[in-house]
C-alpha cells in the first residue's frame, strides 16, 4: 500500500491506486516495467477518494477555495516541500512522507508575456510558461522530483532511463540528491553535448547506445525485468503526476482563469498526457470552470502522433523512423500516444506538425523576445502560426505556449542557425535565405576602436525596427 503522509491541519494528502488506461484494472502495486499485469498497457495513478466525493468541488474533503488558499500560503513558507513548485500542490499528488521528498526547488517557473511573438503569430495575447527555467533546465524536473522521491522511499539503489538528453540530465541530478545511483541510456551521437555533460557531472553511469531513442527505451524495458534497476521514463506514472503541476501552477499564475489554448511540443507524449490529466482533474475538482484546448505540435520528421490520428483515426500507433534537428523530440514510437490522443479528444485540441525551417525560424523569434528556448520548444510557436492560419485559434483567443527546455541546452543548433550553416547540405538549405533577417552571426574584428565603431554604425543603419 502507498505510504501515508503526515497530514497538515485541514488538508489531507491523496491515497492512490494504479489504474490501467486500457482494461481499467486497478491495483495497489506494480511490476518493474509499470505495465498492466492483465493487458500490458500503460498505468496511470488514480485517486479513489476523489471519486468517492463525486469529483465535485472537493479534493480529499477540502474545497477548491481551501486548496487555492493553502497553496498560496505555502509561498511564504521556507519548508523544502513548500519551496518546491511541485510539492506545494501535494494534495493533487500521490501521498508521500515529507522525509522522502527529493527536491531541487523545481517548478516555480515564470509565465512570460510574448508581445512580439503574438504580433508575428497574429494573436492578441500570447504568453509562454518557461519550463526551461527549472533546476536542470527542462520541464523534466517537475516529474522527476516525484518519481525520484518514490524510488527513494522504496529504497531503490539504481534508477535508470532512456533519453534524448533532458530526462537523463534531470534523473541524474535527482538520483545524486537522493543518494541513488543512476543509469542513463542515450542514442550515440544524437543528443546535445550540454545534456550529456549534465548527466556526467551528476555522476550517472552513462551509456551511449548505437541505436535511436526508441531502441534505448526498448532495451530499458527489458533491462528492468532482469536487473534491480528502477525505471524513471514517463511510462513511470509518478513522473506524470509531477508534470501535472506545470498546469496547476499555470492556472494559479492566471488567477484560475484558463486560457483558450495551451500548446505543447510532442515527443514521447508524457508531458501532454500530464498536462491533460491535470486540466481534467482541476476541472473535476472545481479548481477551474472550463477546459483550455490542449494542442500538441510535432516535428514533421518525428510525427508519429500526427500520422496516428490522420491515418489511423487514433486507433493504433503509426511508428515512424524519426529524424529532426530538434533531438529532444527525435522519437518515432511514442510510449504515451494513447494517453495523449485521449487528452486531445477530451480537451478538443489539435495535433499539427511543423517543418525544420519553421521550427528554426520560431526559435529565433522567441530568442529575439529575450526569452530563448531549445529547438523542440520552438515547435509551439511554429505550430501556433499554423493553427491561426487554419482558423483553429480564433481572433481574440488567449494562448499559452509551453517552452520545455532552456536555450543553453542545445548551443550547437543556435550557433549553426546564426552562422547560416544549420541546414548546409540538406534539402532545407535554400529555405534558410528567407531567414537571413533573423540571423546574428558573430563578427571577428581587429581590436581597434575604429573597427568596432564602424561595425556599430553599420548595424545601426540596418537594424530592423523592433
Min CB(425)–ligand F0G separation in Å:
25
Q: Angle 77-80-86 (CA atoms, 0-180°, nearest 5)? A: 95
Q: Give the count of residues interacting with ligand F0G (CB under 6 A).
A: 23
Min CB(413)–ligand F0G separation in Å:
12
Interface stretch with ligand F0G, choices 88-96, 165-173, 354-362, 425-433 (CB under 6 A): 165-173
Q: Which of 103, 149, 236, 268 binds ligand F0G (CB under 6 A)?
A: 268
Interface stretch with ligand F0G, choices 19-27, 108-116, 199-207, 269-277 (CB under 6 A): 269-277
Is residue 137 part of the contact set for ligand F0G (CB under 6 A)?
no
Tally Cβ neighbours within 10 Å of residue 348: 13
Q: Which is nearer to ligand F0G, 121 or 185 (CB)?
A: 185
Q: Angle 362-368-370 (CA atoms, 0-180°, nearest 5)? A: 115
Q: Which is nearer to ligand F0G, 166 or 333 (CB)?
A: 166
Min CB(204)–ligand F0G separation in Å:
13
Q: Which of 59, 123, 341, 376 binds ligand F0G (CB under 6 A)?
A: 376
Site string for ligand F0G, 221-240 (x = CB under 6 A): -------------x------
Is residue 165 part of the contact set for ligand F0G (CB under 6 A)?
yes
- Which residues in 395-421 are b (16+ Cβ under 10 Å) and which e? eebbbbbbbbbbbebbeebbebbbeee
User: Residue 132 CA to chain centroid, in angstroms?
Assistant: 9
> CB neighbours of 457 closer than 8 A, spacing ≥ 6?
none
Is residue 266 part of the contact set for ligand F0G (CB under 6 A)?
yes
Is residue 166 part of the contact set for ligand F0G (CB under 6 A)?
yes
Is residue 192 part of the contact set for ligand F0G (CB under 6 A)?
no
Tally Cβ neighbours within 10 Å of residue 319: 15
Is residue 329 part of the contact set for ligand F0G (CB under 6 A)?
yes
> CB neighbours of 179 closer than 8 A, spacing ≥ 6?
152
Is residue 138 part of the contact set for ligand F0G (CB under 6 A)?
yes
From residue 41, give the alpha-carbon distance in Å to each of 36, 79, 320, 331, 387.
5, 38, 20, 19, 32
With cell 495551451, the residue in question is 262
Q: Which is nearer to ligand F0G, 265 or 276 (CB)?
A: 265
Is residue 328 part of the contact set for ligand F0G (CB under 6 A)?
yes
Q: Which is nearer to ligand F0G, 329 or 387 (CB)?
A: 329
> Strand, coil or helix: what is 403?
strand
Interface stretch with ligand F0G, choices 63-71, 163-171, 285-293, 352-360 (CB under 6 A): 163-171
| β 261-265/58-59 pair status | unpaired
Min CB(272)–ligand F0G separation in Å:
6
Is residue 85 part of the contact set for ligand F0G (CB under 6 A)?
no
Give me the sign of the Cα torsion angle 20, 24, 30, 36.
negative
Q: Which is nearer to ligand F0G, 14 or 406 (CB)?
A: 406
Whether the CB-CB separation of 22 and 36 falls below 8 Å is answered with yes
Is residue 163 part of the contact set for ligand F0G (CB under 6 A)?
yes
Q: Which of 85, 178, 258, 265 binds ligand F0G (CB under 6 A)?
A: 265
Site string for ligand F0G, 403-442 (x = CB under 6 A): -xx-------------------------------------
CA–CA distance, 299 with 322 (Å, rounded to integer): 9
Q: Which of 43, 102, 269, 280 binds ligand F0G (CB under 6 A)?
A: 269
CA–CA distance, 458 with 436 (Å, rounded to integer): 16
φ/ψ of 385, rounded to 5, equals -55, -40
Min CB(373)–ligand F0G separation in Å:
8
Q: Which of 19, 91, 374, 417 binds ligand F0G (CB under 6 A)?
A: 374
Name the strands in the sheet holding 26-27, side by side, starting at the edge strand that comes first in the sequence: 26-27, 17-20, 43-46
Min CB(328)–ligand F0G separation in Å:
3
Of 139, 351, 137, the closest CA to residue 245 belongs to 139
- Count of residues in the chain: 466
Q: Which is nearer to ligand F0G, 259 or 405 (CB)?
A: 405
Q: Where are the alpha helices (DSSP H) in 264-369?
A: 270-284, 304-312, 337-347, 356-367
Q: Which of 145, 167, 353, 361 binds ligand F0G (CB under 6 A)?
A: 167
> CB neighbours of 64 closer than 8 A, spacing ≥ 6?
57, 58, 285, 286, 287
Is residue 349 part of the contact set for ligand F0G (CB under 6 A)?
no
CA–CA distance, 193 with 46 (Å, rounded to integer): 38
CA–CA distance, 230 with 152 (Å, rounded to integer): 10
Is residue 271 part of the contact set for ligand F0G (CB under 6 A)?
yes
DSSP assignment of 227-239: SSEEE-STTSHHH
Q: Which is nearer to ligand F0G, 2 or 276 (CB)?
A: 276
Q: Which of 178, 258, 259, 267 binds ligand F0G (CB under 6 A)?
A: 267
Q: Which residues are at the interface with ligand F0G (CB under 6 A)?
A: 138, 140, 163-167, 234, 265-272, 328-329, 374, 376-377, 404-405
Amino acid at each position: 500500500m502507498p505510504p501515508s503522509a503526515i497530514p497538515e491541519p485541514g488538508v489531507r494528502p491523496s491515497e492512490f491506486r494504479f489504474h490501467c488506461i486500457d482494461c481499467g484494472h486497478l491495483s495497489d502495486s506494480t511490476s518493474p516495467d509499470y505495465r498492466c499485469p492483465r493487458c500490458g498497457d500503460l498505468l496511470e495513478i488514480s485517486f479513489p477518494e476523489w471519486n468517492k466525493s463525486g469529483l465535485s468541488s472537493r479534493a480529499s474533503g477540502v474545497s477548491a477555495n481551501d486548496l487555492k488558499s493553502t497553496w498560496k500560503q505555502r509561498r511564504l513558507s521556507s519548508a523544502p516541500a513548500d519551496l518546491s513548485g511541485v510539492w506545494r500542490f501535494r494534495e493533487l499528488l500521490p501521498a508521500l512522507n515529507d522525509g522522502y521528498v527529493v527536491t531541487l526547488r523545481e517548478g516555480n517557473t515564470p509565465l512570460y508575456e510574448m508581445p512580439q511573438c503574438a504580433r508575428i503569430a497574429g494573436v492578441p495575447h500570447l504568453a509562454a510558461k518557461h519550463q526551461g527555467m527549472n533546476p536542470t533546465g527542462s520541464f523534466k524536473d517537475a516529474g522527476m522530483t516525484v518519481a525520484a522521491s518514490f524510488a527513494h522511499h522504496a529504497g531503490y539503489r539504481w534508477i535508470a532511463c532512456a533519453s534524448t538528453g533532458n530526462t537523463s540530465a534531470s534523473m541524474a541530478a535527482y538520483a545524486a540528491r537522493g543518494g541513488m545511483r543512476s543509469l542513463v541510456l542515450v542514442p550515440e551521437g544524437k543528443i546535445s553535448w550540454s545534456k550529456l555533460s549534465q548527466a556526467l557531472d551528476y555522476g550517472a553511469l552513462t551509456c551511449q547506445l548505437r541505436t535511436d531513442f526508441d531502441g534505448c527505451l526498448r532495451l530499458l524495458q527489458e533491462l528492468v525485468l532482469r536487473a534491480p534497476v528502477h525505471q524513471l521514463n514517463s511510462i513511470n506514472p509518478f513522473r506524470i503526476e509531477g508534470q501535472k503541476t506545470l498546469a496547476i501552477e499555470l492556472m494559479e499564475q492566471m488567477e484560475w482563469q484558463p486560457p483558450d489554448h495551451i500548446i505543447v511540443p510532442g515527443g514521447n507524449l508524457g508531458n501532454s498526457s500530464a498536462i491533460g490529466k491535470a486540466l481534467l482533474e482541476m476541472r473535476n475538482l472545481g479548481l477551474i470552470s472550463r477546459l483550455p484546448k490542449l494542442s500538441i505540435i510535432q516535428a514533421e520528421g518525428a510525427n508519429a502522433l500526427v500520422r496516428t490520428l490522420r491515418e489511423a483515426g487514433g486507433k493504433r500507433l503509426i511508428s515512424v523512423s524519426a529524424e529532426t534537428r530538434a533531438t529532444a523530440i527525435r522519437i518515432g514510437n511514442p510510449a504515451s500516444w494513447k494517453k495523449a490522443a485521449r487528452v486531445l479528444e477530451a480537451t478538443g485540441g489539435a495535433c499539427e506538425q511543423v517543418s525544420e525551417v519553421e521550427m528554426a525560424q520560431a526559435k529565433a523569434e522567441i530568442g529575439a523576445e529575450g526569452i530563448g528556448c531549445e529547438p523542440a520548444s520552438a515547435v509551439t510557436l511554429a505550430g501556433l502560426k499554423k493553427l491561426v492560419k487554419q482558423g483553429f485559434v480564433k481572433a481574440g483567443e488567449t494562448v499559452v505556449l509551453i517552452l520545455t527546455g532552456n536555450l543553453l541546452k542545445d548551443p550547437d543548433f543556435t550557433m549553426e542557425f546564426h552562422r547560416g550553416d544549420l541546414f548546409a547540405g540538406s534539402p532545407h538549405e535554400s529555405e534558410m535565405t528567407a531567414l537571413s533577417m533573423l540571423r546574428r552571426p558573430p563578427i571577428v574584428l581587429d581590436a581597434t576602436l575604429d573597427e568596432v565603431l564602424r561595425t556599430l554604425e553599420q548595424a545601426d543603419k540596418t537594424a530592423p525596427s523592433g
